[in-house]
């Protein structure tokens, strides 16, 4: 424990993984349940070499990044550097370079928007349906979460005030995707 000096709170360190994108973890789970990665790898060109990246390894992080508020490929580093988010989603390998074609980026942007809207419309109560993307980022995707490994299970812990929302979204996601 670190000694306190000015304000009456204690600061403690943890070795647990922490993410500032807990809501993106739920969006990622929804996208995986939809079979997004398999469809990307099936219908888009494969890697040019044995060490190349699959289409899903390029596109999936960009879908998350765009829904999380990123505006350019440079913002993809937020996803790449979020060790907690990468631990619980299929983000083991991520390309560090950039696509050269803007047309590809904008097409992925349309896909990202549609996956986000689908998540809202199929898993969230009607009160969420009217929210703009920025509000969703602030109230859901940008939620802090703690990743805890216990036994053979992995837990994403969020604030108790968000328990019903996250539980409902995950249940409806599972019901819709059948996974």
pLDDT in tens, 118-165: 999 999 999 999 988 888 888 999 999 999 888 888 899 999 999 999
The dihedral region occupied by 35, where left means phi > 0, alpha psi between -120 and 50, and beta the remainder, is left
The whole-number pLDDT of residue 10 equals: 67
Domain boundary assignment for the chain: 17-177
Whose tokens are 């996803």? That residue is 79
The radius of gyration computed from the CA coordinates of the chain, to the nearest angstrom, equals 18
Q: Cβ–Cβ contacts within 10 Å for residue 53, how many? A: 16
* pLDDT at position 41: 92
Residues 177 and 115: their CA atoms lie apart, in Å, by 13
Question: Could you count the other beta carbons within 10 Å of the beta carbon of residue 28?
Answer: 25
3 versus 93: which is more confidently predicted?
A: 93
Average pLDDT over all residues of the chain: 84
* Beta carbons of 172 and 122 less than 8 angstroms apart: yes
Largest separation between any pair of C-alpha atoms in the chain: 59
Measured CA to CA, the distance from residue 18 to residue 154 in angstroms comes to 13
- Mean pLDDT is lowest, of 2-6, 33-37, 98-102, for 98-102
Q: Report, as an integer, the average pLDDT of 2-7.
A: 61
Q: Is residue 147 a contact partner of residue 84, using CB atoms and an 8 Å limit?
A: yes
Question: C-alpha distances in angstroms, 167 versus 26, 110, 136, 156, 157?
Answer: 10, 27, 17, 11, 11
- Position of tokens 């998350």? 64
Q: On the CB side of 97, how many CA atoms lie within 13 Å of its CA? A: 5
First to last CA, the chain: 42
- Give pLDDT tens digits for 33-79: 999 999 999 988 888 777 788 889 888 998 998 898 887 777 778 88
């Amino acid at each position: 424990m670190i000694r306190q000096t000015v304000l009456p709170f204690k600061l403690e360190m943890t070795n647990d993984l922490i993410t500032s994108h807990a809501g993106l973890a739920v969006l990622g789970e929804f996208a995986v349940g939809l079979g997004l990665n398999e469809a990307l790898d099936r219908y888009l060109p494969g890697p040019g070499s044995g060490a190349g990246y699959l289409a899903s390894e390029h596109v999936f992080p960009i879908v998350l990044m765009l829904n999380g508020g990123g505006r350019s490929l440079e913002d993809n580093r937020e996803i790449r550097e979020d060790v907690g988010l990468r631990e619980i989603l299929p983000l083991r390998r991520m390309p560090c370079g950039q696509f050269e074609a803007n047309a590809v980026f904008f097409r992925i942007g349309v896909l990202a928007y549609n996956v986000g809207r689908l998540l809202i419309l199929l898993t969230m109560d009607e009160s969420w349906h009217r929210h703009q993307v920025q509000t969703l980022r602030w109230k859901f995707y940008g939620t802090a979460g703690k990743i805890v490994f216990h036994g053979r299970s992995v837990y994403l812990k969020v604030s108790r005030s968000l328990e019903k929302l996250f539980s409902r979204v995950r249940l409806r996601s599972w019901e819709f995707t059948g996974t």
